[in-house]
Amino acid sequence: ALLLSRCLLKMVKGNIVAPEEILSFCCNGLQGSTSPPRARDPGEREEAPGAMASPSPPRNPTEVQMSQLVLPCHTNHRGELSTGQLLKWIDTAACLSAERHAGCPCVTASMDDIYFEHTISVGQVVNIKAKVNRAFNSSMEVGIQVSYEDLCSGKHCSICKAYATFVAQGPSGSKVKLKPLTPQTEEEKIEYSIAAERRRMRLVHKDTLKDLLIRSPRETELETRDGSVVVPAEKTRVESVELVLPPHANHQGNTFGGQIMAWMENVATIAASRLCHAHPTLRAIEMFHFRGPSQVGDRLVLKAIVNNAFKNSMEVGVCAEAYGQEMSVSRRHINSAFMTFVVLDQEGRPRTLPMVAPEPGEGERRYREASARKKIRLDRKYVVSCKQTEVPLSVPWDQSNKVYLSYNNVSALKTLVAKANWALAREKKKVRMYTLEEDKFLSFRIEMSVHIAASQAFSLLSDLRRRQEWDRHFASAELVQQVDDDDMIYHVVSQTLSHENKPQDFVILASRRKPCSKGDPYVVAFRSVTLPTHPASASFTRGETLCSGFCIWPESEEMSKVAYYNQATPGYLNYVTTNVAGLSSNFCATFEACEKFLLKNKEDLIMRLQDL
């Protein structure tokens, strides 16, 4: 229709319509092309016949873009887009992206935490962009970005960012092995690299909650708030049933994941309203996890209850269960989620909420878990969601945020590795030094090829206690805490004197990661943390590192490329710039010493591994 309109408009203006334009209309129009040519901007020149179009950056073949105009039927009583409707659109776009990569039907396995930054009003446009970040064995991570557009003012604003996991399904529900995804742009390479770390964080999320609950007091202590009403949690309970009809099913006959999420959001909103006797606003959703499918004809029972109410927010637990026509058959657990609501006054500020009195037994358990989840959410939002420049160099360490500090440690290094604008600054013998200049940081990378297996280099370089054997800037490194098999905390003393003429010391979190799949490097990431047991001492000047570490790529069975990265903090700048300017050979000498250390110890390492 667009091409035909262009042809008619030219004829009305007395212009000649080229035969190829009519042919283009016939071919594209009759084939039902979903991607019509871009409309020419006002004032844009027509290209001369045969002119070469300027090359555009390669587009991710899995990318799906969706734009939806918000109509009254999509909104709540305030004229704002229903979160349930938004979840439907998000899930649809993500599923289409996943199926583009898989080439077969895909089902939603989970949806990570979502934080909603703004509401969307009638008449505004919701723009959703979804693309596959990484494909694993039979599952893949899809990244989704949601923004809104005001057509009158032209304003654009971010709403949320989400990550969904989809599983490819073959005939009879069998799993399908996915082809690998090759990232093209810098952004895609960063998302691809960090996707493995997000996957690891999802798998340990339950263990994090269990650990926190084990260390917290067993007795349930109710919060006291002056002048607040106490509402029994039982009064907020909601149970609703939905019959799954064909319009609720996807193209595979299973209940559409977005529809289930929308129904869950509906009952959770009712439960929240029963506590505050007002219309709440959904601020965050903690991971949706689909435990099994449901089909057309199933009855879905949706349950919700307020687990805990804090001063300005409340957590609502919601679950979905399915059963067929026979009530005697046990219900199947389909999904669970936890939603955080607030109640806003006329100025948009959160109101103080009534307190909740939990039921004995299960209610008290949910109450305690809600408090633990709130702490985890705050830690995670602080560590993971903040921009790197807004996070202090040294962040407090405790058991509740260990997973997210480890995630942030590794993902920060992987982000640095994936940057595209590294420039070669120096090369001496086999050692190459690169620099990367950004707004507030000068980063450097030193690399060389070493005749050692990547796994052996990884084992030797990940133990900071051996660093002083090859790095003359290290005086000592004491293992303070063995967090788990992959994360350790060290107290490091440096030989380098500060401007106060005192040696520097560091408290460093070291996070190790083996490759997730072929082509991934071995990673050893470092960042500063603060420990109550190791405060700053008058004998040292406390130093800090924001992002540094090793990446080791196998080049063959016996050869590895070893690269060291450091996002230089002010204490390193003089040292770095001196080496970049060619006034010192410290970097080259240190890295050559590192090579000698690796070659000297690889045989001993092989012998120890054989003894084990």
Evaluate whether 413 touches 549 at the Cβ level (below 8 Å): yes
Q: Are 129 and 65 in contact (CB under 8 A)?
A: yes
pLDDT of residue 9: 36
pLDDT band at 334 (very low <50, low <70, confident <90, very high): very high
Distance CA 330, CA 292 (A): 14
Find the range with the poorest average confidence among 105-114, 264-273, 283-292, 603-612.
603-612
Higher-pLDDT residue of 372 and 381 is 372
Q: Please state, in angstroms and as integers, the Cα–Cα distance from residue 215 to each residue in 219, 368, 400, following that order.
A: 12, 12, 10
**Statement: residue 391 has pLDDT above 50:** no
Tell me the mean pLDDT in the region 73-97: 93
Whole-model pTM: value is 0.76
SS3 call for 266: helix
Mean per-residue pLDDT, 449-477: 92
Mean of pLDDT values over 157-171: 91
- Give me the mean pLDDT over the 165-173 stretch: 85
Query: 150-177 as b/e, with b when 16 or more CB fall inside 10 Å?
Result: eeeeeeeeebbebbbbbbbbeeeeeebe
**pLDDT of 88:** 94
* Higher-confidence position of 33 and 595: 595
pLDDT score for 376: 73
Question: Can you name the residues that pair with 142 across neighbouring β-strands?
Answer: 132, 164
- SS3 string, 144-161, reads EEEEEECCCCCCEEEEEE
pLDDT of 212: 63
Mean pLDDT across 570-594 = 60
**pLDDT one-digit tens code per residue, 601-610:** 887 766 665 5
User: Is pLDDT at 474 greater than 90 in this prediction?
Assistant: no
- Which pLDDT value is given to residue 610? 54
| Domains of the chain and any CATH numbers | 61-188 (3.10.129.10), 229-252+268-388 (3.10.129.10), 390-611 (3.30.530.20)
Percentage of the chain lying above the pLDDT 70 cut: 79
Question: Of the spans 61-70, 218-227, 469-478, which averages the highest pLDDT?
Answer: 61-70
Q: Which residues contact 370 (CB under 8 A, 6 or more apart)?
A: 307, 308, 315, 317, 338
Q: What is the mean pLDDT of residues 1-29?
A: 39
pLDDT digits (tens, 9 = 90+) for 211-240: 666 666 555 455 555 556 899 999 999 999
Which whole number is the average pLDDT over 296-313? 94
